[in-house]
Structure 1
């Protein structure tokens, strides 16, 4: 099993939807573009958003266990995936890539 690098590449924010539908939240999302997390195999990195983990964990597990070519050639790098969290107000896009380093 391999370690997997998770990079925050984009965070969108739909102010019109927030204004119309969302109750005010103190701290809705701590993710910032450029943040990097390392998953030790399929284990959620410390301080990683639980909700985002639910969206990406199956892809992390697939890559950690050597899976490649997710969705038949979708990605240029067959050992990677681009997955967004399920927050409809401020979705975060993650670039997920298998590393050559073995998990602990």
Structure 2
């Protein structure tokens, strides 16, 4: 199994939707643009949002086992994927990249 780099690329915030529909939340998202996590094979990296992990984990699993080219030509680099978490108020975009480095056992 291989390691997978996960980079926080962008955070959006839809304050109009939050004001209309969301109950106030303290510290709803701790992700910061530029933050990098390394998934050791199938293991969720410490500090990575659990909700975001639920969205990206099938892709991480695929990359960790050598999968490439999700959706046939979607990404310029076939060993990468751009995904967002499932928070409709403050979605975070993550770049996943398969690494050649072996996961630690």
Shorter chain as normaliser: what TM range?
Answer: over 0.9
Please report how far the alpha carbon of residue 28 of structure 1 lies from its aligned counterpart in structure 2 after TM superposition. Answer: 0.3
Please report how far the alpha carbon of residue 39 of structure 1 lies from its aligned counterpart in structure 2 after TM superposition. Answer: 0.1
**Structure 2 alignment gaps of length 5 or more:** none
CA offsets per residue over residues 51-95 of structure 1, 9 Å max, x none?
A: 110011001111110000000010011101000000000000000
Give the distance between the partners of 2:78 and 2:51, measured in 1 at CA. Answer: 25
Give the distance between the partners of 1:94 and 1:31, measured in 2 at CA. Answer: 10
1:41 match: 41
TM-score, structure 2 length as denominator?
A: 0.98
The root-mean-square deviation of aligned C-alpha atoms, in Å, is 0.5
Structure 1: 4+ residue segments shifted above 2 A: none
Give the distance between the partners of 2:82 and 2:30, measured in 1 at CA. Answer: 19
1:66 match: 66
2:93 match: 93
- SS of structure 1 residue aligned to 2:3: strand
Please report how far the alpha carbon of residue 47 of structure 1 lies from its aligned counterpart in structure 2 after TM superposition. Answer: 1.1
